[in-house]
Chain A
Amino acid sequence: EPEVTQTPSHQVTQMGQEVILRCVPISNHLYFYWYRQILGQKVEFLVSFYNNEISEKSEIFDDQFSVERPDGSNFTLKIRSTKLEDSAMYFCASSVRQGALRNTGELFFGEGSRLTVL
């Protein structure tokens, strides 16, 4: 069963440092996403990516954040200068199989990358 994989599972960093979280979406999916969950709070949408560009982003996704699909398989989230409040679980997801007749709305999520900013 194809799945979304994320690395690292846990990263600890100092405030102000750059962090890159990596994701390998399901190979024939067309849409990619990043969500995050701060401890005890809701899972929040950050950004969606389609056809090699951002299709939508939330107000959380400011200039400190960027996404990239550097090759045919990886999808990365970069936080340029981390802040304490960036500490959260970050989830990558993908959806919509290439050639699918319709969009079922189902997202396929990875296990998450826990980011701790000290």
Chain B
Amino acid sequence: GNSVTQMEGPVTLSEEAFLTINCTYTATGYPSLFWYVQYPGEGLQLLLKATKADDKGSNKGFEATYRKETTSFHLEKGSVQVSDSAVYFCALRYYGNNRLAFGKGNQVVVIP
């Protein structure tokens, strides 16, 4: 079935470090892929998305490229800030409907 797998465990890093969060997916057809972010005390909000192979989504310095050959959508940011501390969720949208399949999420903690 359609599913998303994120790397295990929280991520702790220093300010200005490079961030990568891995996401791979299993899906039939051609899903759309998303990264959602949840800041403390807030709801999940869309960070970026890509709707077809080789598309790159970007927002707030974050990027992710839809790689069909490796079924991946890894999230990257070149220089993180303390304000990037949040939980990041990878998700895919089932072909033909609005239902999202999420990964477990990764807690990111950025230390000054």
How far, in whole Å, are A55 and B98 apart by their CA atoms in the complex? 10
C-alpha spacing A115/B100, complex, angstroms = 22
Q: Which of A43, A106, A109, A112 contacts B105 (CB 8 A)?
A: A43
Question: In the assembled complex, how far is the CB of residue B70 from the closest CB belonging to chain A, in whole angstroms?
Answer: 21
Give the docked Cα–Cα distance between A33 and B93 (Å): 14
CA distance A10 to B107 in the complex (A): 21
Nearest residue, chain B, Cβ from A30: B98
Q: Which of B32, B44, B49, B98 contacts A95 (CB 8 A)?
A: B98
| A interface, size bucket | 20 to 34
Main secondary structure on A side of the interface with B? strand
Interface string of B79-112 (1 = CB under 8 A from A): 0000000000101010001111111110000000
**Is there an interface contact between B44 and A109, defined as CB atoms closer than 8 Å?**
yes
A82 at the interface (CB under 8 A from B): no
Among residues 58 to 93 in chain A, which have CB atoms less than 8 Å away from a CB atom of chain B?
91, 93
CA distance A106 to B48 in the complex (A): 10
Task: State how many angstroms separate the Cβ of B41 from the closest Cβ of chain A.
Answer: 7
